[in-house]
Structure 1
Amino acid sequence: MATKSPAYTWENGFRELDSSSALETPWSWPKSPVDDNGDSAPDRTGAYVTPPSVDLTTSLTHNQLGINVVRHWPTLYDGTNSPHGVPSWWAPKEEVDVLICGAGPSGLQVAVSLARQGVSFRIIDKADTPLVAGRADGVQPRFLETMSQWGLSTEVHEEGPLIERTAIYKDGRKLLFNRSHQSDSRYRGLHIITQGQLERIYLRDLARHKVIVERSYTAVDYRVEEHGADGSHHTHPVRATLKNAHTGRETSVRAKFLVGSDGAASPIRKSLGTPFDGVSTDIYWGIMDCVFESDYPHAWVFGSVISSKHGGCVIIPREDGYIRLYTQLDISLAGPIAASRQARDPNFIESGGRVEVHSITPEEVLEQANRIFNPYKLKFAAPLSWFAVWKISERVARSFSSPDMRVHLVGDAAHVHSVMGAFGLNASILDSANLAWKLGLAAKGQAKHHVLLPTYSTERRGHAVRIIEVSGSYLRFVCGSTVPLPNLRDVDGLDADHRNNADANAKSEQASKSSGNGFPSKLELASGAMPDTQAVVAQGAEDDDHHGLGTSQAEDLEFLGQFFKAHAQFLLGVDCPYAESAAVSSSGLDLTPKGGHPPAIRVKSGVRAPNPRVCLSPTESGYLYDKLAGPPRFHLVLFASSLAGTEVRRRVDAFLRCLNDPKGFYTRFGGSSCFNVVVILKMLPFQWSGADVDPGLAAVRDALPEGATVVFDDKAPDEDAHTVWGANHLTGGVAVVRPDLWVASTAFPDKMEDVSRLFEGFLI
């Protein structure tokens, strides 16, 4: 929430403000005694007592309208820092499968997945509480598809507004206003939820699994020892020392694997000596969460406002009328800010992030925003919910995993980039979803960790590099920046490229000192000096006659058209292909018809599994993913057409014989505990389960493995599941869907040799 919510009542069947809450909040128990007409008072022994709440200030910096607070429940959310102590059911072990260092969204996502796999773990965080305000605030459809596996997507997408329109203005004129963020996902649009709200959803989920976050703890030291002094193999080779920042208490934990979800300045990444390749840009944002009054026509619509002279703003509508406003700052101010921060924090030059500086006020950022919005005006209409000054860095770790595959980086510890595209939170969650199922199999001894775990870095690093390229190009369009995009694809050439990018970046920043955002700087300060921000803010008005680095409207529209055509689905998380690896078979990559015959399935290996609507039962319709939810397993999705054709029946029979073969991959690797069989039939439910069902269908039904699910493809042929997946009605087809809902392989039902080899490559 952006601000403290009022008390409501539902006594009339719908939510409305509770006028009696001034006397006593409706959630407080026990209630104050009332006149009971002489009846004896109820016995309160053991009755529920509401835990205390506290009001937390959301921003260290305020505007002239006051101070903003939110209500927080320490007993529910503060883990080991709960004022009432730790729950009696919490029993941390000194030896666990996984130690997670960092309880932001990426670390919490790993945790909720491991909890569902029965993998033991501990999760620590240096912060005293979950996030109070600020940071990430939007989730893509692919994020929600991932959350739907755990039964958490509904709570997430109901929190805030839905973004499905984009408005872009430049120099007071409309460039674009149209529908946006459209995909075939069941979760249409970009969904707004604050990072703090999201963390609390995760924390409640973990509590249901008897897990809490160990707060105010950091891993001050760790080492990996695969073998003891006597040559014996350590089952838990990671040995970490955890320290409480308040008490100084140290405790030792042993684990099989360690996950570094500890942020952009990640000590875990630094301990590995992993280069953080990329550039630190000369772009600074002033970020404000507030209610604004404005005559801008699309003030509550997602989009950007760009000025050729002064830079850009990004608008993100939030809950309850709040807006997240990113405002590009004048570089003549940002330079001294950076010098001040770097003098105190050597990590800042690499990882960027929040600048702790008190020399610039929200009112001054608002003045800069008004220059960018000109001729439209903005003013504060409420106390600030959050305020920060942020420097943009674009960096990707050289590898997301240690050479021994015992330590792995997720989220900001592995990559940082601009806010453009809402990739920070969303990419982090996909990192975690990719890693967690692989860690789970390895921790339980069901996978060859040296074969499977390297695919994490390969797959997710490639995605992070594309994020840098896509978000970076749009960032430069909005901000008019000339900082070169880093070339991060060629890992072997990164050392040379890193030096070249650093040189180019230094030249760009030097040029910026004299050019600002397209206008000359009149303020030169010694390194480390704090600027006279009134003078900095005023100079923009004095330089209004300078025309800057603007482009023509035709050029802008051409850029936007090409950009969204190429990247629209990537911006929603659904366009994210993975290359061939131990976890992606090559058999489904080449879909060229062989001998004039179409493939079994046209969807390629390594891509997101499509999620068509299907009939789940005679009384319920839903989506394919509804049958792929629950504890992580591999999904064998059989497209069997109507089972009426001789050829498809023959091949389906062969597939079922493969599953029932005691020596086959299905039985050898765990059967229904490892694999979820879903059959998609082009028929109606009563045709499959009725009393007068065809004997041939009954034989197929009886041969299905225990726990298999059948769904019915009863939509029109131009939108049914067989068409969405490009399934071959003559032969049928099998898609192997990974636990993270990516396609691992496709095959004809009677040609499962490649699928068997895929699993034999990494499963035990």
Structure 2
Amino acid sequence: MPALISQDIPFATRDDPAGVESEVPEYDVVICGAGPVGLITASQMLRSGLTVKIVDKAADSLDVGRADAVQPRVLEIMKQLGLLNELLATGPLIDHTILYKDGKCLVFRPSHASPSEFQYLQVITQPEVERLLIRDIARFGCYVDRSTTLDRYVLEGEKDHTGKSTISLDWTNIETGASGSCRARYLIGSDGAHSAIRKSLSIPFDGVTTNLVWQIVDAEWDTNFPHAWVFGCVLSSEHGGVLIIPRENNMSRLYVRVLPGADGKAPDPNVENVDTAMKRINDVFAPYYVKPKGPIEWYTMWKINERVARSFHDGQDGRVFLAGDSAHCHSAAGAYGLNTGCMDSHNLSWKVILDAKGISKPAIIDSYSVERRATAKRIVQASSCFLRFLCGARGADTFAKDFAIAAGEDPASIEAPQFIPQEGDQSMDPDQAFFSWYARTYTGLLTGTDILYKPSTLNKPWQSSGMVSKYQALDVKRADVNLSRKIQKMKFDEMQGFASGESDAARTERAEQAIASPQASPMIGYRTPNPRLFNPRTGAVQRLYDSFAPLPCFNIVLLGGDMSGSLGPLVCDALDAFAKQGSFRTRFANAQAGQARLMKMHLILDAHNVRDRALLDALALRFKQALSHNATGTHQETSSKDDAHPLHHYLEIHLDDQPDEGRASSLFGTAAEKTSDAPRERAFIVRPDLWLGTKSTLEEFQHSAESYFADLLHPQI
């Protein structure tokens, strides 16, 4: 069997493409690895019109085992792709959690609350995710090449239309012996923790191989345990812990640690089996019993590695990328694995799409490794922390310390909050206190919504007259220091006068109050709010994201309030700045992308004060007229791309009529303005992956948008 990538030529440059047959198939993207990450990457890129070849060395897709639930953030991605309904029909929801210790229930409460519309984890097995996505890419004429390995790939001297080298790849079918070649503009390695793509790039996989070994058993269970189908943990002071993951068809997955022998040696897989796993599980569950009701669906042993690649791309020509387990690996504790990989994919896909179409400058695609690697380090640390709790080793060193040593990085570069018992915790069992702290600290990360990308060209505070607004200055400071995430979410913690001696509970209470404050403007580099809104065009209540144009479109949100006073003219000026010919929209909208899909405007008005349909019609008419006039203000008689699309491809008007805590004006921080304050930010540019790119006042919207897109996109020629 040939190696996946020949190590003698790991990543070479071929200056002379002579001898390469002209009939060699060409693709925009070749994806190595057809697990969920590779498949969802293909799904996103195919929708944008890119051509994709996806290969996998396995003869068939997965039948059983591996990942078992998707987070709210991945559900949002699936909804963007139009696949949500298909996914939701697969299994139960996880919206509660338990903690038992020595037979006693310490915690039973709702869990997984998040800013997302999805307040739960959706149980769905990895095999079902793969089948769903395989069906989806087939709709676009793409099929997985099974039993296929990549033998080698080289950068050619020949350039594509963006001026970058193309990649020549050789492949082999390991069943039939057939072989061939193809060319691609990008190669994505989603080929797992033992990634040959990563190895071929000689990218170190920093971290540790732990001495923690788990047995995993999937089955339908006969048990007298009161919360048998609830997500959570069962601990034993003597025998360790079990993690429970509910599954479809009344099944559950149980993880149990295999303790080292008396001699300290690692468990022998030849000795361990389902019977030894069941013995350990029942020791932990005592006084309750657990036994299989029928056949065991899946059993495996797993030695846990905690690692993050030193880079997620080739670092040379911006052509080869890593995503998913090829870039980071950790335990299953927390359900981070598949979900983190899908979020890698979502972050990467729109950047590759824009780069492939020749629209974006290098800053966009170069940001992938920086953004997702920082996130991966935090996720592996979170998983590491929970894993040691399950293993009865809360005080042991977690991933952060070992990783920092291996990677030669400052330990402070990894956000690693430490559990310190607070006032009020004394009345709790120590494990219960830790469990509560972990939920407060990491639920946002567990749901996929608490991810902050630091200031960059993509996440750019708008500077007016050389000054960053005091609100955005807090964003910058918060992104640069290692603060608790619940405190990071607060926009005005310094203004609220937090005392360093406050208890964790008091800080949490203050944080919750500040988050709900109408002053809390969204943070740049953070997930954009997704309020419910009424759409007068469709007559339906929908989420803001539901009206967003798909990848790779930037969506621009304006908060117009009640249009009273100076707001009305400012909103109209902002609409004109977007719609008119010669605007930043037309200047940076490359014809290959289609203007309707590169930028879209969303105007949110206060429904309680804006009830006149004539006003909405007048705004729409003004916008349409601006679309059809040239830079001199005269009407264009000739047909333009703008005329080829309905108005709602460019502008969607929404009415904000929800209760106070759920109103868009509250979530975007425009509900209350103090006369002593500078004008609040009411213009928000949302990246294609739904993270906030920049924000500005309406007065400065045009200059802010022009500056933002000039740094990211090539002007249209």
Q: TM-score range by the shorter chain?
A: 0.7 to 0.9
Report the AA paired with residue 571 of structure 1.
Answer: L
Which residue is equivalent to 1:368?
280
Report the AA paired with residue 248 of structure 1.
Answer: G
**Structure 2: unaligned runs, 5 residues or longer:** 1-22, 412-425, 474-491, 496-516, 590-594, 628-641, 674-678
2:430 alignment partner, one of 552, 555, 559? 555
Per-residue deviation at 1:600?
10
Distance in 2 between the 1:215 and 1:150 partners?
A: 25
Q: Note the 1:99-138 alignment, pairs <5 A.
A: 99-138=30-69
1:647 alignment partner, one of 559, 566, 577? 566
Report the AA paired with residue 406 of structure 1.
Answer: R
Distance in 2 between the 1:414 and 1:275 partners?
A: 10
- Contact 2:33–2:56 (CA under 8 A) maintained in structure 1: yes
Which residue is equivalent to 2:136?
205
Per-residue CA distance 1:151-207 (angstroms, 9 max, x = gap): 111221221101111111122222211111122321121110001111111111111
Per-residue CA distance 1:594-639 (angstroms, 9 max, x = gap): 9999999811111111111111236311111110153431001111
1:592 alignment partner, one of 470, 478, 502? 470
Tell me whether 1:219 sits opposite 2:169 in the alignment: no
Which residue is equivalent to 2:345?
432
Per-residue CA distance 1:672-691 (angstroms, 9 max, x = gap): 2310111112137994644x
Which residue is equivalent to 1:746?
695
3-state secondary structure, aligned to 1:679:
strand
1:415 alignment partner, one of 316, 320, 328? 328
Q: Note the 1:329-368 alignment, pairs <5 A.
A: 329-332=258-261, 357-368=269-280
Which residue is equivalent to 1:178?
109
Distance in 2 between the 1:144 and 1:409 partners?
A: 22
- Contact 2:229–2:246 (CA under 8 A) maintained in structure 1: yes
Per-residue deviation at 1:109?
1.2
Per-residue deviation at 1:133?
0.5
Tell me whether 1:288 sits opposite 2:196 in the alignment: no
Bigger CA drift: 613-622 or 588-597? 588-597
Bigger CA drift: 717-726 or 400-409? 717-726
- Provide the aligned C-alpha RMSD in A: 3.1
Per-residue CA distance 1:379-412 (angstroms, 9 max, x = gap): 1111011111011111000111111211100000
Per-residue deviation at 1:592?
2.7
Tell me whether 1:574 sits opposite 2:449 in the alignment: yes
Distance in 1 between the 2:335 and 2:89 partners?
A: 18
Tell me whether 1:726 sits opposite 2:675 in the alignment: no
- Contact 2:101–2:236 (CA under 8 A) maintained in structure 1: yes
Q: Aligned in 2, Cα 1:326/1:490: closer, same or farther, shift over 3 Å?
A: closer
Which residue is equivalent to 1:610?
529
Q: Aligned in 2, Cα 1:242/1:286: closer, same or farther, shift over 3 Å?
A: same
Which residue is equivalent to 2:705?
755
Which residue is equivalent to 1:302?
231
1:627 alignment partner, one of 543, 547, 551? 547
Which residue is equivalent to 2:479?
none
Distance in 1 between the 2:401 and 2:535 partners?
A: 45
1:683 alignment partner, one of 607, 610, 620? 607
Distance in 1 between the 2:122 and 2:147 partners?
A: 31
Which residue is equivalent to 2:363?
451
Report the AA paired with residue 359 of structure 2.
Answer: Q
Q: Aligned in 2, Cα 1:601/1:329: closer, same or farther, shift over 3 Å?
A: closer
Distance in 2 between the 1:139 and 1:212 partners?
A: 24
TM-score (norm 1): 0.73
- Contact 2:158–2:165 (CA under 8 A) maintained in structure 1: no
Q: Aligned in 2, Cα 1:360/1:580: closer, same or farther, shift over 3 Å?
A: same
3-state secondary structure, aligned to 1:735:
strand
Bigger CA drift: 432-441 or 593-602? 593-602
Bigger CA drift: 403-412 or 593-602? 593-602
- Contact 1:240–1:253 (CA under 8 A) maintained in structure 2: yes
Per-residue CA distance 1:727-750 (angstroms, 9 max, x = gap): 367767111111111111111223
Bigger CA drift: 419-428 or 712-721? 712-721
Distance in 2 between the 1:110 and 1:413 partners?
A: 14
Per-residue deviation at 1:375?
1.5
Which residue is equivalent to 1:712?
655
Q: Aligned in 2, Cα 1:733/1:125: closer, same or farther, shift over 3 Å?
A: same
Distance in 2 between the 1:334 and 1:248 partners?
A: 47
3-state secondary structure, aligned to 2:344:
helix
- Contact 1:243–1:249 (CA under 8 A) maintained in structure 2: yes
Aligned identity (percent) is 36
- Contact 1:171–1:374 (CA under 8 A) maintained in structure 2: yes
- Contact 2:579–2:623 (CA under 8 A) maintained in structure 1: no
Report the AA paired with residue 433 of structure 1.
Answer: H
Distance in 2 between the 1:111 and 1:754 partners?
A: 34
Q: Aligned in 2, Cα 1:311/1:667: closer, same or farther, shift over 3 Å?
A: same
Report the AA paired with residue 469 of structure 1.
Answer: Q
- Contact 1:610–1:724 (CA under 8 A) maintained in structure 2: yes
Q: Aligned in 2, Cα 1:600/1:170: closer, same or farther, shift over 3 Å?
A: closer
Q: Note the 1:489-528 alignment, pairs <5 A.
A: 494-496=406-408
3-state secondary structure, aligned to 2:152:
strand
Distance in 2 between the 1:633 and 1:93 partners?
A: 32
- Contact 2:28–2:186 (CA under 8 A) maintained in structure 1: yes
Per-residue CA distance 1:117-145 (angstroms, 9 max, x = gap): 11111111111111100000001101101
Which residue is equivalent to 1:344?
none
Q: Note the 1:463-478 alignment, pairs <5 A.
A: 463-478=375-390
Per-residue CA distance 1:349-379 (angstroms, 9 max, x = gap): xxxxxxxx44322111100111111221111
Per-residue deviation at 1:699?
3.8
Per-residue CA distance 1:51-78 (angstroms, 9 max, x = gap): xxxxxxxxxxxxxxxxxxxxxxxxxxxx
Q: Aligned in 2, Cα 1:717/1:464: closer, same or farther, shift over 3 Å?
A: same
Please identify the structure whose Cα radius of gyration is greater: 1
Which residue is equivalent to 1:674?
598
Distance in 2 between the 1:225 and 1:487 partners?
A: 39
- Contact 2:518–2:665 (CA under 8 A) maintained in structure 1: no
Q: Aligned in 2, Cα 1:243/1:681: closer, same or farther, shift over 3 Å?
A: same
1:378 alignment partner, one of 262, 287, 290? 290
**Structure 1: unaligned runs, 5 residues or longer:** 1-91, 341-356, 500-550
Distance in 2 between the 1:660 and 1:609 partners?
A: 23
Q: Aligned in 2, Cα 1:320/1:760: closer, same or farther, shift over 3 Å?
A: same
Distance in 1 between the 2:364 and 2:570 partners?
A: 30
Bigger CA drift: 184-193 or 583-592? 583-592
Distance in 2 between the 1:210 and 1:696 partners?
A: 42
Which residue is equivalent to 1:62?
none
Bigger CA drift: 474-483 or 462-471? 474-483
Distance in 1 between the 2:685 and 2:263 partners?
A: 51
3-state secondary structure, aligned to 2:693:
strand
TM-score (norm 2): 0.78
Distance in 1 between the 2:264 and 2:350 partners?
A: 44
3-state secondary structure, aligned to 1:365:
helix
Report the AA paired with residue 306 of structure 1.
Answer: L
